[in-house]
Amino acid sequence: MKRLILMRHAKTEAWVEGIDDFARALTEQGHVDARRVAEEIVALGWSPERILVSTARRARETCSEVAKVVEGERVRPMEALYLSGMRGIAEAVRQNDGASTLMVIGHNPGLHDFALSLLRDGGSRDHRSSERLNEKFPTACAALFEADEDGAFLPVHFQLADVMRARDFREADPV
């Protein structure tokens, strides 16, 4: 079985004119959210063997929080993932599909578009998760896809297994 985790970077400082978008940092809440979502992913037994990450600061900081929780991952920063469209993300996944569990940390709208295309091609194992994915793909959101086939990456083999949003865990955590 192969697994693919698509995660949007966590909450960042607001963009205002004059600030370099590429250099925007995570907020304090963003750091907490990224780590919390990673903990939930690991609790499901979905530790990624390899993480592909956009080179933008907010994505790298999200990856750093994920790496605090995940054991044995190999991180591959990829400039091509910065604001990439779904075709660019699909190509990055194809080039790195040797891992049994691969994680991609990137940006919208490309990441959401790619997740929706996988959902259209492969379907879902959970109706509620597909509804949530169709609604939106907020910061620190992760879509988890599984394929019964161990061969080369083919979108039609991947079914949506779960969608996790940081907000879900914020509401559940005691204050």
Are residues 174 and 33 in contact, defined by beta-carbon separation less than 8 angstroms? no
pLDDT computed for residue 173 by the predictor: 57
**Backbone φ/ψ region at 72: left (φ over 0), alpha (ψ -120 to 50), beta:** left
**Structural domain span for residue 26:** 2-172
> What's the one-letter identity of residue 4?
L
Going by the DSSP 8-state scheme, the letter that residue 81 receives in this structure is: G
Give me the number of domains the chain comprises. Answer: 1
pLDDT computed for residue 172 by the predictor: 56
Going by the DSSP 8-state scheme, the letter that residue 19 receives in this structure is: S
pLDDT computed for residue 171 by the predictor: 63
- What is the model's pTM? 0.94
Which residues of the chain, if any, have pLDDT below 70?
171-175
pLDDT computed for residue 169 by the predictor: 86
Contacts with 175 (C-beta within 8 Å, 6 or more apart), sequence order: none
Sign of CA dihedral 29, 65, 139, 161: negative
Going by the DSSP 8-state scheme, the letter that residue 139 receives in this structure is: T
Give the CATH number for residue 61.
Answer: 3.40.50.1240
pLDDT computed for residue 175 by the predictor: 47
Instruction: Give the pLDDT confidence of 141-174 residue by residue, as tens digits.
Output: 999 999 988 888 889 999 999 999 999 987 655 5
Are residues 145 and 107 in contact, defined by beta-carbon separation less than 8 angstroms? no
Distance CA(62)–CA(24), nearest Å, equals 12
